[in-house]
Amino acid sequence: MTTLEKIIHRLPFEKIIGQTIIGYVKDAKSLGDFKKLVLENALSGLIVGREVVSSIRSIGKELKDLADLYKKTYGFSIILATEREGGRMEKLPQPSTELPSPMGISATGDVKSAYIAGYITALELRTLSINVNFAPVANLYPYETTRGFKENSFGDDPEEVSEYVSNYIRGLRNGGILSFVKYFPRRFFDQRDKNLESLSELYKKEFKPFQTAVKMGVEGIIMGHTPLPAVDNINTPSSLSLKVIEKVVKRGLGFKNMLVTDCLNGEDPDISIDPEKATITALKAGNHIVVPSSDVDEVRNTLDRIIEEAEKDKDFYNRVRESALEVLGFKLRKLDKFKKTPDKTRGSLINRTRAWKLFLKSICVVKGVSELPLRFFGKPLVIIANKLRSLLEESEKKTLLETLGEELNSFELLEYVDELSSKRLNELYRNTPSNTLLMVLTYNLDEDSKETSVLKKFVEFFKENVVISLGSPEDLKLLSNAKICVAAFTPSITAVKAAFKALKSKNPPSGSLPIKIV
């Protein structure tokens, strides 16, 4: 009798069904309840959200204890996943290594950078007993453009993005972590355009990075909610579409590993669905694992609903049983040899040194190379754009101001420029010499916002100016009158330090734009 057969023989059907559900711990307060739910019902595992990973000091011990107890109880491993894509202030318990965003990685112009980023990520996640990373993002730019995640795509060229995706996956794998690539075809329900209406064109462009990932045996694909009108109804989320999963993902891409839905009751304001009903639909469509909700009671109710549906629908019973057994087989093949790395691996000197080199290679001076190295007189005026400031915790804001002080000696900070009265703006213009250096730190500006309009006026008035974009370099198009434009791609203190090093160097940095900005 094989190990899988022994498990099936030993476990009641209710426990086997649990393998088709994974909990999503988005709030640190719910971790205890989710751990209890997982252990009592043999759920396939937990997705540990970014804030939970960074806010619980003992998260490594909590997850290791859970993994040990789960395996002791059921005889097979638990999936412990997170979403560490790189950049965007993604922090692990300190010490840890900060890495550039995916766009920052591709800006280095070297696909080996993606391998290094994936490898470092894997080593550090393993210190926490995490065995699966829901990354990389394989979507072409623009990615989540209305929600401020623009830098999480490697770029807009299908061939280049495919190379970076495959090397990142290889880095994760060689570092001992499984990769679940995302989001197919895109993430959110409202991310629809005519490009999704031609299947032949999609295989050449949008699907190409996914095809590459599948060819190298990527362990999982996260199904997004964006409809695929080339295959199914315009109002049917791809995550719930039998046609998309069977015709495109399984037959078209040839994918044979784990299919996991994006959270069915998550961050998409344009899709309002009942997680219990949607879970049934998602499993019937061919997903192996469903993420019903980040609410523990909704997950519990969803599990009860699956059991109830399986008892009265023989076809559904067979479908959900088949999915559960595939999950168990996957775990036995892929997770049983997982080993935790020592805590000292996280934030090690070698990891931080490698990451710093990636940051330096990613910096791109889009305009004003001839003005380098940067020279200025007097006290510079610094503006930190609203979105960037909102990303930072208080301790990070303090660190950023300290970094600016070290680089500029002293400076005047100007905040909330969109709220400044006309009188205050006029006073600034009158009382501040026009040759004062203006330093603007931006992050994914809104083209039509009042803040962007005010920033344009500042850039026009202060002739000596530098704009550092810490997200998508499209910010530099909006402030194209700036004298020096720097793309740093990652909203982090390390990216700011790397940008200043480039500004003060006689030799221009080697980074290049991974997207076209007109």
Q: What is the mean pLDDT of the chain?
A: 92
**Which among 70, 135, 62, 137 is positioned nearest to 93, based on CA atoms?**
62
Q: Any residues with CB less than 8 A from the CB of 351 and at least 6 apart, and which?
A: 97, 120, 123, 124, 345
Tell me what pLDDT residue 4 has: 87
Helix (H, G, I), strand (E, B) or coil at 22: strand
Q: Any residues with CB less than 8 A from the CB of 219 and at least 6 apart, and which?
A: 132, 178, 179, 180, 257, 258, 330, 334
CA-to-CA separations, 254 to 12, 126, 250, 323, in angstroms, rounded:
32, 30, 5, 17
Q: Is the pLDDT of residue 179 over 70?
A: yes
Tell me what pLDDT residue 211 has: 98
Strands 465-469 and 364-367: unpaired
**Rounded CA gap, 291 and 81, in Å?**
12
Tell me what pLDDT residue 448 has: 73
Angle (CA) 316 321 322, round 5°: 100
Q: Any idea which residue has 């070698």 for tokens?
A: 350
Q: Is the pLDDT of residue 250 over 70?
A: yes
Q: Is the pLDDT of residue 69 over 60?
A: yes
Q: Is the pLDDT of residue 298 over 80?
A: yes
CATH of region 363-503: 3.40.50.1700
Residue 390, exposed/middle/buried by CB under 10 A (0-12, 13-18, 19+)? exposed
CB 218 within 8 A of CB 169: yes
**Rounded CA gap, 38 and 245, in Å?**
27
**Which among 95, 91, 70 is positioned nearest to 80, based on CA atoms?**
70
According to the CATH classification, is domain 18-345 in 3.90.1150.10? no
CA-to-CA separations, 158 to 115, 208, 210, 441, in angstroms, rounded:
18, 6, 10, 30
Tell me what pLDDT residue 86 has: 83
CB 387 within 8 A of CB 443: yes
CB 384 within 8 A of CB 128: no
> E strands of 263-346, at which residues?
none
Q: Is the pLDDT of residue 110 over 90?
A: yes
Tell me what pLDDT residue 429 has: 87
**Rounded CA gap, 121 and 125, in Å?**
6
Q: Is the pLDDT of residue 148 over 60?
A: no
Which residue intervals of 175-243 are DSSP H helices?
A: 199-204, 208-215, 242-243
Tell me what pLDDT residue 240 has: 96
Tell me what pLDDT residue 196 has: 73
In percent, the amount of the chain with pLDDT more than 90 equals 80
Q: Is the pLDDT of residue 74 over 80?
A: yes
Q: Where are the domains of the chain?
A: 18-345, 363-503
Mean of pLDDT values over 264-289: 85
Confirm whether 18-345 and 363-503 share one CATH topology: no
**Rounded CA gap, 268 and 447, in Å?**
22
Instruction: State the amino acid at position 41 in one-letter form.
Output: N
Half-sphere exposure of residue 472, counting CA atoms within 13 Å on the CB side?
A: 28
Residue 298, exposed/middle/buried by CB under 10 A (0-12, 13-18, 19+)? middle
Tell me what pLDDT residue 264 has: 92
pLDDT of 379-414, one tens digit each?
999 999 999 999 888 988 999 999 999 999 999 999
pLDDT of 79-95, one tens digit each?
999 999 887 656 788 88
Band the pLDDT of 269: cuts 50, 70, 90: low
**Rounded CA gap, 286 and 506, in Å?**
57
Mean of pLDDT values over 137-148: 73
Determine the number of helices (DSSP H) and then strands (DSSP E) in the chain. 21, 13
Mean of pLDDT values over 472-481: 94
In percent, the amount of the chain with pLDDT more than 70 equals 95
CB 445 within 8 A of CB 387: yes
Helix (H, G, I), strand (E, B) or coil at 48: strand
Q: Any residues with CB less than 8 A from the CB of 70 and at least 6 apart, and which?
A: 38, 39, 77, 78
pLDDT of 182-229, one tens digit each?
999 988 766 666 667 789 889 999 999 999 999 999 999 999 999 999
Task: Tell me the whole-structure pTM to 2 decimals.
Answer: 0.95
Tell me what pLDDT residue 271 has: 64
Helices 493-503 and 394-408: crossing angle in degrees, nearest 10, is 10
Tell me what pLDDT residue 147 has: 57
Mean of pLDDT values over 406-434: 90
Strands 438-442 and 220-223: unpaired
pLDDT of 339-390, one tens digit each?
999 999 999 999 999 999 999 999 999 999 999 999 988 899 999 999 999 9
Tell me what pLDDT residue 501 has: 97
Helix (H, G, I), strand (E, B) or coil at 366: strand
Pair of tokens at residue 74:
């059921």
